[in-house]
Chains A and B, each alone.
Chain A
């Protein structure tokens, strides 16, 4: 009975075929939603089975597995898929190619399920590439848009490069370890680590190839440009891209976690690249003028944090992070569509919950001191969190750098939120309450759920990853580095969005203006591509 769960990757294909034969437009979303609900239920059953029996479900010749990682991610993807399909029902109604959209959507979900559930490097390679082609066809869904096709081409180029590195890594893995089976390989890697590791340069090469393939598909700098520039895709596709597709790097690295035990240098590079991405993207997010691109850079920044977490050995935190970020970003994208829809009907922005909390003008507006805001939004929540942890007991007060990263990831997310909603106009206690609550929720969820997740995913082996991550950044160093993101971010947020800041009539400082211009133009990298690389 439980083996039925292994059919999950094939069910969306069946749904796509069924939709292909339908003629009435209104039947298409119904079929998609009913059958994808069944997929979600099947996924939940699989998760229940894995959790209750503590056994993975494997079958189909050992090529697919529903293990702890699948038990977490498959229901997440299935429920996300259900929401996106439901949302697309009305949102895509007037678009030409309604049937094509639902077919492609099911196709890409099939690839994602296959990727998550694969237990064989060949199957993983197929899923890895299937996802790319599915993404390309969805990004270029609006076939008449020149820019969508051009940006789709660039996206594919980066993804194709990732595919190549991945294929070479798979071939080298096979030639070095003699197997494609991930369960066997993981056991081999763990045994090799426990017997003192290996200095074989080939293992490092394989590790780097997998890391760079993951970085490319997760839009880590300098391979990030495809993500902010593909916002022209339909909103449900953007939601899927930011909440699902871009996470595959993190999923891949989790699948390869035991290999990375043997390659501390790869983890160190992951940390550094993640740090650079987190800092740069968080700054660019606030500097670019296009709101969709800003969201794109926000995702790039969050992916930077995710790779940083992997670099620190916090593999399970990366999973936790990608899921929480995915939910946050998908809801942001999906709400944006309905907000625009309502705004077109009414002259004023409709009174949605977010409007009532964040936009409504309050008469008791006072000018706000920037430092007081920083103190309130940044330092106070940290003090609350640490105090609570301390009160819970000294043993519990185990300093964890990964927790800090989650904290600062939350901060950059908050900056993005503030830059959209101009909170200071309201000066509302509700805003402060909501933001601080969200902080407490994020950190405490990580402390209690995230650590449980680590135990569930890796058991006692979870501690090994932290030992291997040899780039021991002290807590102080981490605070200093990530604080810089926060301060620069707050500075931009304050200058751009907080009212009551007198800009004056005099010309701005030339040097500062040039820096801002460079940031707003994303370091001129995209201009360079457009001017000198005319491939598509």
Chain B
């Protein structure tokens, strides 16, 4: 029981970001690293202590997840979006078996790390991580457009990226019940809707004449290439897992 409580908190089943957002000395861009760190700790804890996911905790995480979905839909800030998406996926992290949960969590955090770094790129070049007015990246800054497309395609649960494969692997190896159907449907569509909505406002759209577009620097390209490589490596693992 205690381990369930701890995991509920660590695996982002409780939207504690509401509190963090209120603390003045914690900047918004620090919340994702804190949350990601706690999720990673949660993965270690679930690995060490044997446990079985409990229905009431999944339900709590699910309601918190719906709230995070609402928040993700409201925001135009890439930094905020990263932890909203992380919290949105929490019920799945709690519901899946340990190994599948760790693999899915890892792919989710890596894809979100990419988005987080893109947020920093926005801050550096456009003043804030708000993507509302910086539209049409594909045409004017093709590398940034391509990288955003990759990350959001991964988050929208499309192959060949690992999130989709590990999501499939996770749900395939878990027990099917009514809650399973509800959580799977909501997570599957929620991730997709958030990702497509952001893509429509960043990757696509007419370039804004009032914005001076700057593409990502060669150093940043290498960094993102590394992240994409890790994602593809996870895809191979995911494919092996799901086929085995």
Residues of A within 8 A of B (CB): 63, 96-97, 100, 120, 122, 125-126, 129-130, 132-133, 137, 140, 143-144, 146, 149-150, 153, 156, 160, 164, 167-168, 171, 174-175, 180, 535-536
Q: Is the CB of B204 within 8 A of A97?
A: no
Assembled-state Cα–Cα distance A308/B115 (Å): 46
**Cα A126 to Cα B168 with chains together (Å):** 10
B159 and A156: CB pair below 8 A? no
Which residue of the partner chain B has the closest CB to A140?
B204
A120 nearest in chain B by CB position: B243
The distance from the CB of B204 to the nearest CB of chain A, in whole angstroms, is 4
Contact present for B204 and A133 (CB under 8 Å): no
Nearest Cβ in chain B — how far from A119, in angstroms? 12
A sample of 23 inter-chain contacts (CB < 8 A) reads A97-B139, A125-B168, A126-B164, A130-B158, A133-B153, A133-B156, A137-B149, A143-B204, A143-B205, A144-B206, A144-B207, A149-B200, A150-B200, A156-B192, A160-B188, A160-B189, A164-B189, A167-B168, A168-B184, A171-B172, A175-B176, A535-B193, A536-B200
B46 on the interface (CB 8 Å rule)? no
B interface, CB within 8 angstroms of A:
136, 138-139, 142, 149, 153, 156, 158-160, 164-165, 168, 171-172, 176, 184-185, 188-189, 192-193, 196-197, 200, 203-207, 239, 242-243
- Quote the shortest CB–CB distance from A212 to chain B (angstroms): 14
| A149-B205 contact in complex given A171-B171, A536-B200, C-beta closer than 8 Å | yes
What is the bound-complex CA distance between A150 and B185, given in angstroms?
23
Determine the chain B residues whose CB is within 8 A of the CB of A132 once the complex forms: 158
Q: Which residues of A contact B165 (CB under 8 A)?
A: 126
Contacts of A168 in B (CB 8 A): 184
CA distance A536 to B172 in the complex (A): 30
Partner of B197, one of A129, A137, A164, A536: A536
CB of B94, distance to nearest CB on chain A (Å):
20
Query: Which of A63, A120, A164 has a CB less than 8 Å from the CB of B185?
Result: A164
Contacts of B192 in A (CB 8 A): 156, 160
How many Cβ-Cβ contacts under 8 Å join chain A to chain B?
A: 72
- Give the complex CA separation of A264 and B33 in angstroms: 54
Residues of chain A with a CB closer than 8 A to B142's CB = 100
Are B159 and A143 closer than 8 Å at their CB atoms? no
> Considering residues B139, B158, B184, B243, which has the most beta carbons from chain A within 10 angstroms of its beta carbon?
B158
Looking across the interface, which residue of chain A has its beta carbon closest to that of B193? A535
Q: Are B159 and A129 touching (Cβ within 8 A)?
A: yes
Q: Which of B156, B159, B168 contacts A130 (CB 8 A)?
A: B159
Chain A residues in 8 Å Cβ range of B206: 144, 146
Least CB distance from A329 to B in Å reads 27
Closest to B243 in A: A122
Are B196's CB and A156's CB within 8 A?
yes
Q: Is the CB of B159 within 8 A of A144?
A: no
Q: Which single member of A126, A164, A171 contacts B188 (CB below 8 Å)? A: A164
A129 partner residues in chain B, CB cutoff 8 A: 158-159, 164
Given A126-B164, A137-B149, output 15 extra A-B contacts at Cβ < 8 Å. Answer: A100-B142, A126-B165, A126-B239, A143-B204, A144-B206, A149-B200, A149-B205, A153-B196, A160-B189, A160-B192, A167-B188, A168-B184, A171-B171, A174-B172, A536-B196
Q: Bound state CA distance, A288 and B184, in angstroms?
A: 39
Complex Cα distance A166/B8, Å? 31
A144 interface neighbour in B139, B172, B243, Cβ under 8 Å: B139
- CB-based contact A153/B243 at 8 Å: no
Give A278 Cβ to nearest chain B Cβ, in Å. Answer: 30
A122 CB contacts on chain B under 8 angstroms: 168, 239, 242-243
Min C-beta distance of B91 to chain A, whole Å: 17
B172 / chain A contacts, CB cutoff of 8 Å: 171, 174
Residues of A within 8 A of B207 (CB): 144
A180–B239 Cα distance when bound, in Å, is 13
Q: Give the nearest-CB partner of B165 in chain A.
A: A126
Q: Report the minimum CB–CB distance from A102 to chain B (whole Å).
A: 14
User: How far apart are A134's CB and chain B's nearest CB, in angstroms?
Assistant: 9
Contact call A100/B168, Cβ cutoff below 8 A: no
Shortest CB-to-CB span from A242 to chain B, Å, is: 23
A129 to B167, CA, bound (A): 13
